[in-house]
Amino acid sequence: MTKIGEDTGAKGAAQTFETQVGSGGELHQIAGPDDTVLTTQQGIPVADDQNTLKVGERGPALLEDFHFREKMFHFDHERIPERVVHARGFGVHGTFTLTESLEDYTVAKVLTEVGENTQMFVRFSTVAGNKGSPDLARDVRGFAAKFYTKEGNWDIVGNNIPVFFIQDAIKFPDLIHAAKQEPDRGFPQAQTAHDNFWDFISLTPESMHMVMWIMSDRTIPRSFRTIEGFGVHTFRLINAEGKGTYVKFHFKPKQGLQSVMWNEAVKLNGADPDFHRRDLWDAIDLDTPPEWDLGVQLFDDKFADSFEFDVLDATKIIPEEQIPVRKIGTFVLDAHVDNFFAETEQVAFCTQNVVPGIGFTNDPLLQGRNFSYLDTQLKRLGSPNFTHIPINQPKGCPVHNFQQDGHMAMRNPKGRVNYEPNSWERGENNPRESPTTGYKHFAAEENGRKAQVRSPSFADHYSQARQFFISQEPIEQKHIGDALVFELSKVERVDIREKMVGHLLNIDETLATVVADGLGLTKLPPKAKAAVEPRTDLPPSPALSIVARGPESFSGRKLGILVTDGASAALVKTLAEAVKAQGAVYEIIAPKIAGATLDDGTIAEAKQKIDGGPSILYDAVALVVSADGAKLLAEDKTAKDFVSDAFAHCKYIGYTDVALPFIERAGVQEKDMDEGFIPLGDKASAEGFLESCAKLRVWEREFKIDLDAAGFLAGQAAKRG
């Protein structure tokens, strides 16, 4: 007979239930504290968690085995519906500290009490993919923040892009159906490169501004740590006099903005589908938690009336050059969840979670969202009592009301009274409304005809798309063209491709021509008909570029050091020190996971074997190899990929002289070795290398090594005349 401790799986049980098989084979329980004993949900200690109750050794199982039935019942119900959008997410805890008071504009304590710390929970996400999809999908990133304020929970359910695809919430189900897997085949997963998405988009001109953003490198970020966040809609601040001021919320990463290249993203999804969550997890573990400034754009009706576009239209931004972003505080995300399901999965954000002093506007997308989030929580969490789950409970203030009962109620009001008004004495269990501190809605004057209409002030769909495009650095413009060609070349219907080029003609002629050429269209399709003539007079907004707003140093980045047996121990040490001095991290990659024996006999322990540590995992690489090691690596395809990928991805590559033949065998000729190749030797060279790495990429390289660059460069030259 199988006993605990004898068979496979017994080890797991030992964690909470210590057992020992005595010399006679009989089972003895070692006395221990009660809270280490495995129990059922009813608290009954479990004696055997390895075998179901049976009749005889080989007989049928018995229904009487309540432990088995309870365990299996619970397992069968472990899953809750994943979010219909933003299913793939990663949550962390943090703290917000206010540095500048907005007391002239709002009564919200979280925005007026300078120096106050407010607990936060942030969930990053992608939009289209299912829960198990890869982190590096080309997609918008959700950046949802819950502030547990003294006056209740305030959520900014934002994205890393400040505009959206549609102007009215009624189109959201269509947009999402079109973006997610096609219904007949159930694929493609986590990507927009398919007919249905581009069909919908090509018929939805209001999406064109968003299209520029999603085809830019914003949708393939290097890290959650290097994205911005935006509340998107125009919200409202309300002060003690009841006066309203419009506000747009911004999160600015102190780490600088950074993205990867598309070819890198595709490979990262295979090499490490958890790349973004692992990166944030590690940054917190290393005690280098990321920080963002919370910024606001504040404006009044006068500005709103004079602005070129409607401030209620979520497909438009207000350029920072027109209304600067005022930094009012900082938040740091520095703590893991204890349990992914309990917190990240069960957290429930809602745009209508606002505190006194913060309110809404009539943005029709925001109004629709205010309905949708609460509604979806019931489906997902199964009960109106989802606010009783610890991650959703207010932490900065008490909760008292007469809401009661329902599935899983944890917090029914105590005492006799469960209604109001009532004649019982006011108290914790008999709360009263508070006209002084309670939430007051902004007293907006509204009038109008009931109608299903779109305001003519929402009609310009191309001008800001163009403004975004011309605000990009040349390499970023090229990437937008490349992304459009990639996505549209996965679209089977030629008429959809053509329609999209027709829209691009309203945005930028070079872009349209490059995309048409990339798709092999023999002639340019007709321009899409625009509801209003697109403007060409909007100036570039440098704030919209990622490359222009990169980091100031290599801090927070990762260097991959490829070593072999016999490599210079002194150089490895010097590099490691230089990396540390920059506030960056490194990983050693070697032909064997045990590491490499360096020239002084010490062992450099490897974090990755070369096959598991491709250069896409690193922001820059250093080839610290011996002459023999270089010969060995020159015969290894994966090692050569390490170099050729780093080269193709425009990364900085430090190298020792003896690595040159290896580099050449990896396909990089001496003539291709640009300023991004930095010889390594002494301390100064290592430090200089790390300083150069702050630029992250040698973008000029891409124009030399990519066939698709030619059309783009010709278009640029033609524009310059």
Residue 79 known to bind ligand: no
Residue whose CB is less far from ligand HDE, 86 or 93: 86
Dist. CA 98–CA 247, nearest whole Å: 17
Assess 679 for contact with ligand HDE (CB under 6 A): no
Residue 419 known to bind ligand: no
Inter-residue contact 433 to 402 (CB < 8 Å): no
Dist. CA 584–CA 562, nearest whole Å: 17
3-state secondary structure of 496: helix
Residues of span 174-233 touching ligand HDE by CB under 6 A: 232
Amino acid at 455: S
Amino acid at 188: P
From residue 680 to residue 709, the character string flagging contacts with ligand HDE as x (rule: CB under 6 A) and all else as - is ------------------------------
Q: Is there a catalytic annotation at residue 160?
A: no
Q: Using DSSP bridges, classify how beta strands 620-624 and 653-655 pair: parallel, antiparallel or unpaired.
A: parallel
Assess 237 for contact with ligand HDE (CB under 6 A): no
Residue 83 known to bind ligand: yes
Residue 373 known to bind ligand: yes
Residue whose CB is less far from ligand HDE, 144 or 491: 144
- The distance of closest approach from Cβ of residue 165 to ligand HDE in the complex, given in angstroms and rounded to an integer, is 8
Say whether the peptide bond before residue 421 is cis (omega within 30 degrees of 0): yes
**How many Cα atoms are found within 13 Å in the side-chain-facing hemisphere of 332?**
9
Q: Is there a catalytic annotation at residue 447?
A: no
- The distance of closest approach from Cβ of residue 158 to ligand HDE in the complex, given in angstroms and rounded to an integer, is 5
Residue whose CB is less far from ligand HDE, 89 or 481: 89
Which one of 67, 153, 159, 479 is the catalytic residue?
A: 159
Residues of span 55-114 touching ligand HDE by CB under 6 A: 83-86, 89
Residue 172 known to bind ligand: yes
- The distance of closest approach from Cβ of residue 488 to ligand HDE in the complex, given in angstroms and rounded to an integer, is 24
Residue 123 known to bind ligand: yes
β-sheet bridge partners, residue 124: 90, 143
Assess 144 for contact with ligand HDE (CB under 6 A): yes
Comparing CA positions, the residue from 191, 85, 175 lying closest to residue 139 is 191
Assess 499 for contact with ligand HDE (CB under 6 A): no
Candidates 142, 329, 356, 556; binder of ligand HDE (CB under 6 A) is 142
3-state secondary structure of 119: strand
Inter-residue contact 284 to 214 (CB < 8 Å): no
Dist. CA 296–CA 230, nearest whole Å: 10
Residue whose CB is less far from ligand HDE, 83 or 478: 83
3-state secondary structure of 540: coil
Expressed in angstroms, the distance from the first to the final Cα of the chain is 88
- The distance of closest approach from Cβ of residue 330 to ligand HDE in the complex, given in angstroms and rounded to an integer, is 21
Dist. CA 152–CA 356, nearest whole Å: 9
Count of positions on this chain that bind ligand HDE (CB under 6 A): 25
Candidates 68, 281, 340, 373; binder of ligand HDE (CB under 6 A) is 373
Which one of 86, 93, 194, 276 is the catalytic residue?
A: 86
Dist. CA 426–CA 434, nearest whole Å: 12
Residues of span 23-62 touching ligand HDE by CB under 6 A: none
Residue 614 sits at the vertex; the CA angle it makes with 612 and 616, to the nearest 5 degrees, is 135
Dist. CA 199–CA 515, nearest whole Å: 17
- The distance of closest approach from Cβ of residue 365 to ligand HDE in the complex, given in angstroms and rounded to an integer, is 4
Assess 349 for contact with ligand HDE (CB under 6 A): yes
What does the block give as tokens for 606?
């490897």
φ, ψ of residue 249 in degrees (nearest 5): -100, 140
Residue numbers in the known binding site are 83, 123, 172, 369, 373, 380
Chain residues in the site for ligand HDE (CB under 6 A): 83-86, 89, 123, 125, 142, 144, 157-159, 164, 169, 172, 232, 314, 347, 349, 365, 368-369, 372-373, 376
Annotated binding-site residues for heme read 83, 123, 172, 369, 373, 380
Active site members: 86, 159
